[in-house]
Structure 1
Amino acid sequence: MIFNHEQCGALLLENNFWACYAFETARDLLLKRKPSVINILTNADLLQISKLFSDISFRKNSDEHAYYDQGDYPVRFFTMDNGENHSLDQTFSIERKKNSLKRAAEYSLFSINSFFYDLEEGIFYDPLDAYPLLKKGVIKTVNNPEQTAAMLPTFALKTAKVFSETGFEIDKSLVRLFKRNEKLSGYKEINEVIAGDFLDICVSGRAYEALSFLDEWNILELLLPEVSVLKTVNQDKDHHPEGNGFWHTLGCLKCVKKPNKNLMMAILLHDTGKAITAIEHKSGKAFPNHSSASKAIARKVLHRFYYNSEEMDEIFFLVQNHMILNAVDRLPRNILRPLFTSPYFSNLLELYRADLESGYHKVDSYYNTARMYKEFLRRDKLKRQGIYL
């Protein structure tokens, strides 16, 4: 049986447990934003949750206690082990609930994530009096930043993720800490949680700013050295006035209107082959066949970030073909038709537009391609109806 997140909370309440939307979820509700993930804090234990939700899983290296994948709205369960009877009986007082929530809030990394929304009472709880920071829009830690960094080696990545979710100012004490670059060992091996946090940043709408922070803190080069090396790739100023290959790539992220994880990873990887294909000639620097070289690099990177084979196929298509639309007017039909009929073409068109805009080029060719695509779809639909133009 499939439950949405409201049904998840209702089922816990029906079985005499209490349940709260917690952490980022409650924060986003307070900000009147659509949450990207649903956190539910409950006094049900893992065995009781497993009986209610048979499809839950338990992820390694993750901070939640149980995970329920619902596609667009994954649910993360957090249990409260307070040494007491887990069932919600008549003696469960408001004061006990407040004390339990305060203990849970103290485990939050960031003060702006220490809120709860009681699903039964319909009210918010702010155990750490963090609402003023939420109103000011400042990212600060619940505990001492140095202690937090010592306990969590990927603390800087978590901070960048919270920034990407909120756009809030990062407290200066955190910025100073991350610039010292003392805790980088946690990024040597990318586990699923690190990969998930990174990809969440990429699709957040603030990827350019957040990845710029990670670059400044010397973390991006550990996660994606294939992109960082593009700083050494100087480009013809007539074609790329934005600068080297690295800043062109990050600039493309800023131009995307509707980010998704396959498109954003394809953008990050689309020019990586330039680092190994650069040649000098009379009219300037060139990068012959860099699309194919970038595709070969993508094969290595995508396994690192736990992409499945179907997702890889799309990214390979996007990377391999990101230059071909420059010649769309001259493409023969036997090449044009497979492009236009590909399920990945809409993402390819978006990558093409971002690639042009990042280089400050006119986007006339993008609109021309979009018109050709729309006309192709119209004619194709008529042919399926037996009408030939």
Structure 2
Amino acid sequence: MDRQEILKLLKKNRYNPRLMGFSALDRYYRFYDDQYYLLIKSSADMVALAQMFDNLIFPSMFAIEAAIVEEDSVVLFSEEGMFSYLPELNITADPFSRRFYMSDSAIKSIRSKKLECAGEYSIRDVLNIAIMISRYDFSIEGDFFPDMKSYMPSQDEQRIFLSLLMSSYKPWKGLSLLDKSGLLSVLWPELARMKDVEHSKDYHPEGSVWQHTLEALRYPKKRLLPVTLAVLLHDAGKPLATEQDGKRFFAHANIGESIARSFLKRLGFSSSLTEDVAFLVRHHMLPHALPSLRPSSVSNVLDSPLFPMLLEVYRCDLFSTFKGPDSYHRSCKAYKAYLKNRKNPYKNMDFKKDVKLFVE
């Protein structure tokens, strides 16, 4: 059952479904790229929801009564009218029309995209602010800081927050805010330690590993969660890598694969998404060498349905270094040639020595 069918079933049973919070804001700003998350407010209690939906679960999340979790989407149900102390998030929307319901205090802010922040906020609302500046390009007026003694978001909440952030147009803005507020090191230390590793200016003029990662997040063409999470984590192994054989970050891709897998499992991401991201992190350097490699040596990677995503991760990694697109284009040509020659039954895995597969 898809999300539209869920909403129709609630309406048919007269439970008055409404989109709320970020789902309502997505509709208001016509943000349709993210297909992962939907928050619904309705008059249906848990008994009624359980009777309508066989695959209902009960996650540990603030103000969330129940959820339906699929491989590529999460539907959350709430009976609460107040989802956040931020008035901008207390908006609801009719899922079958362009009708929106919000307080007078929220109207001006939502129309101007300006958040007036001052004082101390809960950890949850600092995360909400990070999503709003990343997802809808809100600006912040005033100074604020997180209350580190406030309720720590659960595993499920952190997963939803990170998914919303990484499927936004400008995730680097929210991540920078979390870093500045001190929450990055509290919630996700695997990311925070990248700040302490400086890059060589000859190869990465953009700065440290963390600064390079934030810059790389500007370049995905589509906000596909496996791609953006892989870009976020592609250099997570560098802080733990050591110099060997003249390489400063020896085997950092292998280390990063292990970190990505444990990080995503800790937040409760699905095993399939976790393995996809781990694959992209493990092989994120391969496209650079692709034009000079024998096809048989990397055929398992080239044949993966994830390889187009791997090329996208490489493009983001490369473009963030200001080196230009030439190496990326050569890798794309090499991959295209591989796909073409692979279909020829008269050629071996390396397509014979007299066949020029890869473009110089």
Letter in 2 for 1:166: Y
Aligned to 1:239: 203
8 Å contact kept, 1:277–1:290? yes
Shift of 1:160: 0.9
TM-score w.r.t. structure 2 length?
0.83
Matches within 5 A, 1:240-259: 240-259=204-223
Structure 2 distance, partners of 1:154, 1:238, is 40
* 2:101 counterpart of 1:125: yes
Structure 1 distance, partners of 2:200, 2:257, is 23
Aligned to 2:336: 374
Shift of 1:129: 4.9
* 2:36 counterpart of 1:60: no
Aligned to 2:305: 343
Q: 1:332 to 1:120 in 2, by over 3 A?
A: closer
Shift of 1:239: 0.9
Q: Which blocks of at least 5 consecutive residues in structure 1 are unaligned? A: 81-103
8 Å contact kept, 2:68–2:74? yes
* 2:3 counterpart of 1:33: no
User: How many correspondences in the alignment?
Assistant: 346
Structure 2 distance, partners of 1:294, 1:30, is 38
Aligned to 1:260: 224
Structure 2 distance, partners of 1:273, 1:12, is 46
* 2:252 counterpart of 1:290: yes
Q: 1:339 to 1:184 in 2, by over 3 A?
A: farther
Deviations 1:321-377 (A, max 9, x none): 222222212212222322210122112111111111111112211111111212222
Q: Which blocks of at least 5 consecutive residues in structure 2 are unaligned? A: 356-360
Aligned to 1:83: none
Q: 1:184 to 1:363 in 2, by over 3 A?
A: farther
Structure 2 distance, partners of 1:45, 1:190, is 23
Letter in 2 for 1:334: S
Share of identical aligned residues, percent?
27
Shift of 1:58: 1.5
Aligned to 1:85: none
Structure 2 distance, partners of 1:120, 1:377, is 44
Aligned to 2:358: none
Letter in 1 for 2:144: L
Q: 1:66 to 1:246 in 2, by over 3 A?
A: same
Structure 2 distance, partners of 1:216, 1:113, is 23
Structure 2 distance, partners of 1:47, 1:275, is 49
Structure 1 distance, partners of 2:304, 2:48, is 46
Query: Which is richer in helix?
Result: 1
Secondary structure, counterpart of 2:217 in structure 1: helix
Aligned to 2:91: 115
Matches within 5 A, 1:171-190: 171-172=141-142, 176-178=143-145, 181-183=146-148, 186-187=151-152
Deviations 1:234-279 (A, max 9, x none): 2221111111122112211112222333322322332233223344
Q: 1:241 to 1:122 in 2, by over 3 A?
A: closer
Secondary structure, counterpart of 2:56 in structure 1: coil
8 Å contact kept, 1:192–1:306? yes
8 Å contact kept, 1:55–1:68? yes
Matches within 5 A, 1:142-153: 146=120, 149=121, 152-153=122-123
Larger Rg: 1
Letter in 1 for 2:333: R
TM-score w.r.t. structure 1 length?
0.78
In the alignment, which of 156, 164, 167 is matched to residue 203 of structure 1? 167
Shift of 1:216: 0.7
Secondary structure, counterpart of 2:19 in structure 1: strand
Structure 1 distance, partners of 2:95, 2:203, is 55
8 Å contact kept, 1:25–1:35? no
